[in-house]
Chain A
Amino acid sequence: KAGVTQTPRYLIKTRGQQVTLSCSPISGHRSVSWYQQTPGQGLQFLFEYFSETQRNKGNFPGRFSGRQFSNSRSEMNVSTLELGDSALYLCASSLEPSASGEDTQYFGPGTRLTVL
């Protein structure tokens, strides 16, 4: 079974631009979560989608948004990029929403975003 795939793997943008990252979950998985990983802040939860609905959202500004499609693929968008948005963005999928902490999340390799 194919794992979680994320595209693109690397991206370079300039301040003020916007960016869209894509995540394809493992086949059959309906929940997709997004995380930002930086050396300074570590790994921080962005949001979780299930059945095309956002179920949870972390403490990030409104410039960060996402969506999920009917085939469970998800995209996240960052508008008006800032230098501090440079990070590794990780996507994780699971069969069901993260209820009870029981369902295992499977992570993709991430998209490395560099903002110049």
Chain B
Amino acid sequence: GDSVTQMEGPVTLSEEAFLTINCTYTATGYPSLFWYVQYPGEGLQLLLKATKADDKGSNKGFEATYRKETTSFHLEKGSVQVSDSAVYFCALSVGASGGSYIPTFGRGTSLIVHP
């Protein structure tokens, strides 16, 4: 079945450091790919998405490029802030029967940014 694998956390960085959170996937068909962020005590928020190969999603300084050849969608940010501390989820959705899409999520990667 479809699956998403994320790097284990927590990832601990100092403010202004470069961030990479790895995400790889297996899917039948051509998935859309997503990164969500979950702040403490809150639900998930869509951070960025990409719907086809070589697309780059970006938002709030975060970027991820849909790499079909390596089945990856790594999240990057050039300079993290303390406010970026949260749990980040990589996800995919692939068409199922009836044209509906059921999302599959990774286990989440906790990011801790120190001042």
Binding site for B on A (CB under 8 A): 4, 33, 42-45, 48, 55-56, 58, 90, 92, 97-102, 104-110
Contact = CB atoms under 8 A, between A and B. Distances in A.
Interface in B17-50: 31-32, 34, 36, 41-46, 49
Contacts of A92: 43-44
Contacts of B81: none
A43 B31 contact: no
A97 B93 CA distance: 12
15 contacts: A43-B89, A44-B105, A45-B102, A48-B102, A56-B100, A56-B102, A58-B102, A90-B43, A92-B44, A98-B100, A99-B100, A101-B34, A104-B49, A105-B103, A109-B42
> Interface on chain B toward A: helix, strand, loop, or mixed SS?
strand
A45 B103 contact: yes
B92 to A, nearest CB: 8
Interface string B81-94: 00000000100111
A4 B43 contact: yes
A110 B43 contact: yes
B44 A90 contact: yes
Interface residues of B, number: 29
Contacts of A42: 105-108
B61 interface: no
Given A56-B100, A90-B44, A110-B43, A101 B93 contact: yes
A97 B98 CA distance: 11
Contacts of A45: 102-104
A107 B43 contact: yes
B115 interface: no
A59 to B, nearest CB: 9
B46 A104 contact: yes
Nearest to A4: B43
Nearest to B99: A99
B99 to A, nearest CB: 6
A45 B102 CA distance: 7
B51 A102 contact: yes
A107 B89 CA distance: 13
